[in-house]
Structure 1
Amino acid sequence: MSLQENPGLGGSAHAAFVDLPVLESIAHNLYFLVVQAILWNQTHGKQARPIFLALIERYPDPKSLSKASLEELTELLRPLGLHNIRASRCIALGICWDKDPPTPGRQHRRKGYPRASLAASEDDAYEIGHLPGVGPYALDSFRIFHRDEMRGLAKDWLGTGATGEDFEPEWKRVVPLDKELRAYLKWRWLKEGFVWNEENGNLTAADEGFLAVAARPRDER
């Protein structure tokens, strides 16, 4: 299956990455989302992007990744550094996913998530928490961009198609450490009329100046 045929990228893969932030462009494909998180860890997105495209072209699903040659995958990931670790982690991810795929209604806790400075609750368990290589960045990305869709609560991360009166998009409960996810949520909250505190998630009403920023296209801010 080519990238152009894969519905998770919504058409041309390269066009999707140019037109939208990476995570938005792959939000409907959980496998892509998790692999992206592993590759982006400790790496600039610009450097990781072509490697990610090559990887999902060669290994378009967990089963194919589980059968990948460690030597070949290590060579593919070499430009990113930590290639031996990343390759082993990706194959372990594929094996675990193939045997025990993420399933709605079955959550797993992840030690250290959410971070200690945030109030934890008995609900802090997630459908991808058991997968190798899944850390805070992957969990935050999953919660922001895919969890509502996976649980059948909405058609996307913005709440499209949600019917419950008390529905609140999962992204509104995420307080990430990653600077790009923080920037995204700041912008998303401004669209809702609030200034979001990236340290604790607290909200204050946005004034006209902030709202004007939110109204501009993201590449002009």
Structure 2
Amino acid sequence: MVLLPDLLVLLAGYLLGSIPCGWLAGRWLAGLDLRQEGSGSTGATNVLRVLGKGPALGVFLLDVLKGTAAVLLAKAVLQPIGFSSSSDGWVVAAGLAALAGHIWPIWLGWKGGKAVATGLGMLLGLTWPVGLACFGIFLTVLSLSRIVSLSSVVAALALPLLMLGSFGATGLRPAYLALALLTTVLVVWRHRSNLKRLMAGNEPRLGAKNP
């Protein structure tokens, strides 16, 4: 039977994820609607293009925090009933709800960001070694290519393997593996236009002004 706390953690996860940090930064700092600027995304990369490094770093950290908070809140609420495979599923669902909120925020007509930072925060809340490993891959690819989208996609593709490798000490956690696979699909799908530009050789590098 579905319990009220389970539904509440899903709603809280979505609402946390839907806080439009990038859009608010654009409005408050420059009077702009980021959906009409640069790539049209409300994520930190577009904030960097439009507003600069300082606002982009702030938005990135807040977007990470949204994902972490959704997962930690779900764990705190569900702790009294124990962490069975069932409650694992609800914690994972809360993290996915945060991703959905970031990508499809109700406040902005369902048009948000690409969920890379929020996905990192979700992973840090669930299993921080995997989150840090993904972030390390992202930074490595970014330092070599200077292309944020490529770095995001490579890190997402590595996620299921990293998650599998993390089960050595704790045993297989099917909900966590399902989360890794769904997150990979979601991130790659959200970057489909970037992938087309990458194949065409005209994807902008870090710091470029064009979308």
- Which TM-score applies when normalising by structure 1? 0.29
Structure with bigger helix share is: 2
Larger radius of gyration: 1
- Which TM-score applies when normalising by structure 2? 0.30
